[in-house]
Amino acid sequence: MKIIHAAMMLLLLALMTAISTTSADEQTYIVRMDKTKITNTYSSLVSSKKPWHQAVLDSLIDVSSMEATPPELLYSYTALSGFAAKLSSKQFESLKNMDGFISAVPNKMLSLHTTRSPLFLGLTGMKGEKGPWSGSNLHSDVIIGVVDSGIWPEHVSFQDHGLSPVPERWKGVCENGTRFSPSNCNKKLIGARYFYGGYIAAGGKINDTEEHKSARDVSGHGTHTASTAGGDIVENANIFGLANGTATGMRYTARIAAYKVCWPGCTSVDILAAMVKAIEDGVDVLTLSLGSESEAVPYWQDYLVIASYLAFKSGIFVAFSAGNSGPDAYTVVNTAPWIMTVAASTMDRSFVAIIELGNGETFEGSSFYTGKALKGLPIVYGKTAGDLGAEYCLSGSLDPKLVKGKIVICEQGIVRRTEKGEAVKSAGGAGILILSPKGEDLANEVHVLPDILLGAIASKAVIKYWNTTKAPTASIVFKGTMYGNQAPKVAAFSSRGPNLVGPDVIKPDITAPGVDILAAWPAETSPSRLKSDKRRVLFNIISGTSMSCPHVSGIAALIKSKHKDWSPAAIKSALMTTAYKLDNKGKPIADLAFYNSGSPFAIGSGHVDPIKATDPGLIYNITAEDYISYLCSLHYTDSQVSMFEEGYQCTPTELRMQPGDLNYPSFAVNFKQKARNVTFTYKRTVTNVGIPKSTYKVSVEVPKGVSVIVSPKVLSFTELNEELSYEVSFTGLSRNKKVAGSSFGSLVWVSGNYRVRSPIAVSWK
Of 419, 451, 483, which residue sits at a domain end? 483
Mark whether 175 and 275 lie in a shared domain.
Answer: yes
As beta bridge partners, residue 510 has 342
**C-alpha–C-alpha distance, residues 143 and 319, integer Å:** 14
Question: Does residue 508 fall inside a structural domain?
Answer: yes
Counting the structural domains of the chain, the total is 4
Mark whether 389 and 262 lie in a shared domain.
Answer: no
CB 450 within 8 A of CB 474: no
746: CATH: 2.60.40.2310
**C-alpha–C-alpha distance, residues 467 and 357, integer Å:** 13
Helix (H, G, I), strand (E, B) or coil at 674: coil
Q: What does the buried/exposed string (b/e) look like for 10-48 if buried means 16 or more CB atoms within 10 Å of the residue's CB?
A: eebeebeeebeeeeeebbbbbbbbbbeebbebbeebbee
**C-alpha–C-alpha distance, residues 196 and 216, integer Å:** 13
CB 148 within 8 A of CB 214: no
One-letter-per-residue 3-state SS of 383-404:
HHCECCCHHHCCCCCECHHHHC
Q: What is the pLDDT of residue 61?
A: 76
**pLDDT-flagged residues of the chain (< 70):** 1-24, 39-50, 62-68, 114-116, 124-140, 294, 674-675, 734-740
170: CATH: 3.40.50.200
Q: Could you tell me which residues come within 8 angstroms of residue 66 by beta carbon, excluding any fewer than 6 positions away?
A: none
Q: What is the pLDDT of residue 11?
A: 30
**Would the pTM of this model clear 0.75, i.e. be above it?**
yes
72: CATH: 3.30.70.80
546 included as an active-site residue: yes
What is the dihedral sign for C-alpha 101, 75, 299, 626?
A: positive
**C-alpha–C-alpha distance, residues 171 and 595, integer Å:** 49
Question: Does residue 735 fall inside a structural domain?
Answer: yes
Mark whether 356 and 324 lie in a shared domain.
Answer: no
Question: Does residue 591 fall inside a structural domain?
Answer: yes
SS3 content of the chain, % helix, strand, coil (to 5): 25, 30, 45
Mark whether 200 and 239 lie in a shared domain.
Answer: yes
Mark whether 336 and 376 lie in a shared domain.
Answer: no
**What count of other Cβ atoms lies within 10 Å of the Cβ of residue 721?**
12
**C-alpha–C-alpha distance, residues 500 and 693, integer Å:** 41
Question: Does residue 646 fall inside a structural domain?
Answer: no
Mark whether 157 and 293 lie in a shared domain.
Answer: yes
Task: Using alpha carbons only, give the angle 490, 663, 556 rounded to the nearest 5 degrees.
Answer: 50
Q: What does the buried/exposed string (b/e) look like for 56-91 if buried means 16 or more CB atoms within 10 Å of the residue's CB?
A: bbebbeeebeeeeebbebbbbbebbbbbbbbbbeeb
What is the dihedral sign for C-alpha 669, 673, 679, 680?
A: negative
Domain that holds residue 31: 26-106
As beta bridge partners, residue 497 has none
Of 74, 106, 138, which residue sits at a domain end? 106
**C-alpha–C-alpha distance, residues 256 and 235, integer Å:** 20
Mark whether 149 and 250 lie in a shared domain.
Answer: yes
DSSP state of 754: E
Beta-strand pair 317-321/340-345: parallel
Calculate the CA 483 to chain-centre distance.
Answer: 26
Question: Does residue 657 fall inside a structural domain?
Answer: no
**Which entry of 59, 103, 113, 148 is annotated as an active-site residue?**
148
Q: What is the pLDDT of residue 107?
A: 86
Backbone angles phi, psi at 349, to 5 degrees: -120, 140
Question: Does residue 525 fall inside a structural domain?
Answer: yes
Question: Does residue 645 fall inside a structural domain?
Answer: no
Q: Which of 152, 147, 161 is nearest to 266 (CA)?
A: 147
Long-range contacts of 120-129 (CB under 8 A, 24+ apart): 120/347, 120/348, 120/349, 120/487, 120/513, 121/250, 121/513, 121/551, 121/555, 121/608, 121/609, 121/610, 121/611, 122/609, 122/610, 122/611, 123/250, 123/610, 123/611, 126/611
Q: Say what angle helices 545-562 and 221-230 make with each other, to 10 degrees.
A: 30
Q: What is the pLDDT of residue 484?
A: 93
Mark whether 160 and 200 lie in a shared domain.
Answer: yes
Helix (H) or strand (E) holding 41: helix 35-41
**Which entry of 350, 546, 548, 599 is annotated as an active-site residue?**
546
**C-alpha–C-alpha distance, residues 1 and 293, integer Å:** 7
Mark whether 69 and 166 lie in a shared domain.
Answer: no
Q: In the Cβ-directed half-sphere of 611, how many Cα atoms lie within 13 Å? A: 17
433: CATH: 3.50.30.30
Q: What does the buried/exposed string (b/e) look like for 241-271 if buried means 16 or more CB atoms within 10 Å of the residue's CB?
A: ebbbbebbbbbbbbbbbbbbbbbbbbbbbbb
Task: Using alpha carbons only, give the angle 190, 192, 193 rounded to the nearest 5 degrees.
Answer: 145
Of 483, 518, 533, which residue sits at a domain end? 483
Helix (H, G, I), strand (E, B) or coil at 706: strand
451 included as an active-site residue: no
**Which entry of 53, 113, 212, 221 is annotated as an active-site residue?**
221
221 included as an active-site residue: yes
**What count of other Cβ atoms lies within 10 Å of the Cβ of residue 511?**
32
CB 314 within 8 A of CB 279: yes
Question: Does residue 130 fall inside a structural domain?
Answer: yes
Mark whether 427 and 364 lie in a shared domain.
Answer: yes
Q: Could you tell me which residues come within 8 angstroms of residue 209 by beta carbon, excluding any fewer than 6 positions away?
A: none
Mark whether 219 and 268 lie in a shared domain.
Answer: yes
Mark whether 373 and 286 lie in a shared domain.
Answer: no
What is the dihedral sign for C-alpha 462, 466, 469, 475?
A: positive
